[in-house]
């Protein structure tokens, strides 16, 4: 049997739409009072009167009785229609005019069928919305990633697991905010448009403001404005919002991602380590998550991850020395490190064009990071890897920074902030020199931030978390697109054009 053509079915549904209108019914009414969710209705005693509504997901007719399933956010319930109960004309309308995907409002009573299924016996119904296109085939689920990411509404309708992931994400964000409020942090908002793309080492998106006739950048970080607020006397601040980086797309990177940052006056990075562990304990308890879970790692094998605190701590420099036999403290230039990497037969893409900071960062990402499974605090980073971090009091070659790494993913970066304006200016100048020498990933200077620091700043520790990554880990996903409702894709026209072009031979 040939499959139905969705476009042909759309024409049939359009004809039904006109018939509904001709019968004097509004196919898209204004509202419906819905005091009961479908799952709530299932908990009520038999004989209880209910008003429910939802989308028609299944329909089965047997003479003068019909069995439908409606779905709302809470779940599904069976609706039983009898022609002698709702009337012959309304029953006929159901059969001829209502399709899968349409919306109905129901008034009736809770009862249990002979097969033991809690259902609603309809006294009457109201037509609430006509679907002009058919839903995907339900019984096989929605599997096509292109449709899942491009038409997320279909994914949410057809895949219960996806719906639960995004409910979890919403609950996670609410719990995060509650934790900060409990800890007396102020939630703030800082600009998305920036004069300079700084606060991180990433390629920015550039645009133009017509009214002011200036070029601006979409922020790659929230960092510098938040530190200026600490200078202004707001001692505990946090911001949850989007950051934008014009970089490649892979399972752990997206060009638009949800970023969480907080800054606290009078703290150092050790305070932030303890705060991180306290936050993790709170979230797992609040969201009722087991601290032991099985996750698929970068090696595509399943590992048990234990989020119990306190987390293991590893010196970053000693980790690289253990994994590569290379002591990165001995190097002051990229040339000598590159020579020794090649001698050790360690290679990664673009290494010949990288500066010292780029080589060390990518060495860690290739050799050490994939091996870290359980939540681990890495600390003691070389000074040149973090231009905004405070130099350690005991070793002037390292900064007081840590990262939390879980299952090969970096999810938190934090450090004691550099508040010395003279030192900060020198660090920015070093970055400019690195850029002039060909280093691609450097941090842009910001003179306005230097001026802010010159007005005086207390000790500060700042902290940033990739929210998409944490949600992916806690829901067992291996691709950030699966926890972002609308990930960036090519326009469908370009995607179709690309598919039509023959591959280059």
Q: Is 40 exposed, middle or buried (0-12, 13-18, 19+ CB in 10 A)?
A: middle
- Please check if 261 is assigned to a binding site: no
Six token digits for residue 232: 């202004």
From residue 44, give the alpha-carbon distance in Å to each of 40, 76, 268.
Answer: 7, 15, 54
Take residue 192 and report the two structure tokens written for it: 């998305």
Integer CA distances (angstroms), 384 to 115, 373, 434, in order: 70, 27, 10
**Angle, vertex CA 197, rays to CA 196 and CA 202, nearest 5:** 160
Phi, psi of 84 (to 5 degrees): -80, -10
Q: What is the separation of C-alpha 390 from the centre of its chain, rounded to a whole number of angstroms? A: 30
Residue 115 φ/ψ, nearest 5 degrees: -85, 5
What is the H or E stretch that residue 264 is in? strand 256-265
Is residue 399 within 8 Å of residue 381, measured between CB atoms?
A: yes
Is there a contact between 476 and 295 (Cβ–Cβ < 8 Å)?
A: yes
Beta-strand pair 376-382/312-315: parallel
- For residues 313 and 403, what is the distance between their CA atoms, to the nearest angstrom? 10
Q: Mind giving me the DSSP string for 440-458?
A: SS-PPP-HHHHHHHHT---
- Tell me: cis bond preceding 310? Omega within 30 of 0 counts: yes
Structure tokens at 96: 């001829």
> Rounded to 5 degrees, what are φ and ψ at 177?
-60, -45
Q: How far from chain centre, in Å, is Cα 333? A: 37
d(CA 480, CA 78): 35
Q: How many CB atoms lie within 10 A of CB 2?
A: 4
Q: Are 123 and 108 in contact (CB under 8 A)?
A: yes
Q: Compute the residue count for the chain.
A: 505
Between CA 3 and CA 10, with CA 6 as vertex, the angle to 5 degrees is: 135
How far is it, in rounded angstroms, from Cα 254 to Cα 248? Answer: 7
The binding site comprises 410
The binding site for Mg(2+) comprises 410
């Amino acid at each position: 049997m040939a499959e139905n053509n969705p476009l042909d079915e759309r024409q049939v549904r359009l004809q039904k739409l006109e018939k509904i209108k001709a019968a004097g019914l509004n196919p898209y009414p204004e509202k419906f009072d819905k005091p009961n969710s479908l799952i709530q209705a299932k908990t009520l005693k038999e004989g209880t009167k209910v008003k429910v509504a939802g989308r028609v997901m299944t329909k089965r007719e047997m003479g003068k009785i019909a069995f439908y399933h409606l779905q709302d956010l809470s779940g599904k319930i069976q609706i039983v229609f009898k022609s002698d109960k709702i009337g012959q004309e309304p029953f006929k309308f159901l059969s001829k005019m209502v399709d899968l995907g349409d919306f109905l409002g129901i008034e009736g009573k809770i009862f249990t069928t002979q097969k033991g299924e809690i259902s609603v016996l309809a006294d009457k119904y109201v037509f609430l919305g006509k679907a002009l296109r058919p839903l995907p085939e339900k019984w096989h689920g929605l599997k096509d990633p292109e449709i899942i990411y491009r038409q997320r509404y279909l994914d949410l309708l057809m895949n219960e697991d996806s719906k639960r992931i995004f409910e979890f994400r919403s609950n996670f964000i609410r719990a995060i905010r509650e934790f900060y409020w409990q800890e007396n942090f102020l939630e703030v908002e800082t600009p998305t448009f920036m004069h300079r793309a700084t606060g991180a080492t990433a390629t920015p998106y550039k645009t133009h403001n017509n009214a002011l006739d200036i070029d601006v950048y979409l922020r790659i970080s929230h960092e510098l404005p938040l530190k200026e607020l600490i200078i202004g006397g707001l001692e505990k601040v946090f911001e949850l919002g989007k950051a934008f980086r014009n970089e490649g797309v892979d399972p752990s990177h997206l060009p638009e991602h949800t970023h969480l940052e907080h800054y606290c006056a009078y703290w150092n990075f050790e305070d932030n380590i303890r705060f991180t562990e306290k936050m993790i304990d709170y979230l797992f308890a609040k969201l009722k998550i087991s601290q032991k879970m099985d996750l698929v790692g970068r090696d595509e094998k399943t590992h048990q991850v234990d989020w119990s605190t306190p987390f293991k701590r590893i010196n970053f420099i000693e980790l690289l020395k253990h994994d590569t036999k290379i002591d990165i403290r001995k190097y002051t230039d990229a040339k000598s490190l590159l020579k020794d990497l090649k001698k050790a037969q360690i290679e990664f893409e673009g290494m010949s064009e990288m500066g010292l900071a780029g080589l060390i960062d990518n060495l860690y990402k290739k050799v050490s990071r994939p091996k870290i499974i359980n939540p681990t605090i890495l600390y003691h980073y070389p000074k040149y890897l973090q231009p905004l971090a405070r130099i350690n009091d005991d070793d002037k070659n390292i900064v007081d920074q840590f990262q939390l790494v879980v299952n090969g993913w970096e999810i938190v970066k934090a450090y004691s902030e550099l508040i010395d304006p003279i030192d900060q200016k020198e660090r920015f100048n070093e970055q400019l020199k690195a850029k002039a020498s060909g280093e691609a990933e450097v941090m842009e200077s910001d003179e306005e931030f230097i001026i802010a620091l010159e007005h005086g700043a207390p000790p500060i520790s700042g902290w940033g978390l990739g929210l998409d990554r944490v949600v992916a880990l806690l829901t067992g996903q291996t691709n950030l697109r699966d926890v972002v409702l609308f990930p960036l894709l090519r326009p469908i026209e370009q995607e179709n054009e690309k598919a039509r072009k023959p591959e280059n031979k």
